[in-house]
Amino acid sequence: MNNPHHFSRFAQPVLRNFRGSLIAEFGPALFLLIFCFVIPLLDLGMLPIRYGLTYAAATNAVSKLALANKASDANRMLQTDTWWTSFLGKCGIDVEQKQLAMVVINKKGSGQVFATDQPGSIPSALLPDGPDGPGAYILRLSIKADISPLLVMSGRGIPGLTSPVPITLQTSSVWENLGRDPDTTEYYLNE
């Protein structure tokens, strides 16, 4: 009677069927799959798309600003024309800072940067009729922005997953108006 395979008439072996166990494990596995892999991949996958939107909107804006009559008008338009920053805000991109600068590259090829909010700051030697001119006159837009993740989750501040990713980018366009103001005889790019 010490045989383990010997069963009495009343003690029947219980044979288990494991066919239903997969259903019980599927729910927690699906939960982990969605919250640990799918949502973070969606968040990280949206970052390059939103970065591209930011770059395209900033490039479009600086192209329009380079067509302004005066450099001071371009700076004023940057502050008042907010269509592109409001568009980016609707797309989850918060533009915190924007700044224009005039980049002047003389005939010798050395670049010098001047802020457009200071009228008359470009030296006369670098203007189109100066000894180092005419050069290349480029309007550069620098922005700092925060790109929010697609799905905001609570938790520690992990950029791209639970907190915005800060970016800084620059884009530029050639300044179009190299003429002089007939009233002041000053170049438009220096007014």
Distance between CA 139 and CA 135 in Å, rounded? 13
Name, of 10-19, 113-122, 156-165, the range with top average pLDDT: 156-165
Q: What is the pLDDT of residue 183?
A: 80
| Whether pLDDT at 33 is above 70 | yes
Q: Quick one: pLDDT band at residue 171, thresholds 50, 70, 90? A: very high
Vertex 25 angle, CA 14 and 161, to 5°:
165
Cβ-based neighbours of 157, under 8 Å, separated by 6 or more: 163
Cα–Cα distances (Å) from 113 to 55, 77, 185, in that order, read 21, 20, 23
Choose between 51 and 107: higher pLDDT. Answer: 51
Residues in the chain: 191
80: tokens are 């008042």
Q: What is the pLDDT of residue 111?
A: 57
Q: Quick one: pLDDT band at residue 26, thresholds 50, 70, 90? A: confident
| Whether pLDDT at 67 is above 60 | yes
Within 10 Å of residue 88's Cβ, how many Cβ atoms? 22
| Whether pLDDT at 81 is above 70 | yes
Task: Tell how far CA 32 is from the center of its chain.
Answer: 30
Q: What is the pLDDT of residue 153?
A: 64
Q: Of all residues in the chain, what percent carry a pLDDT higher than 70?
A: 74
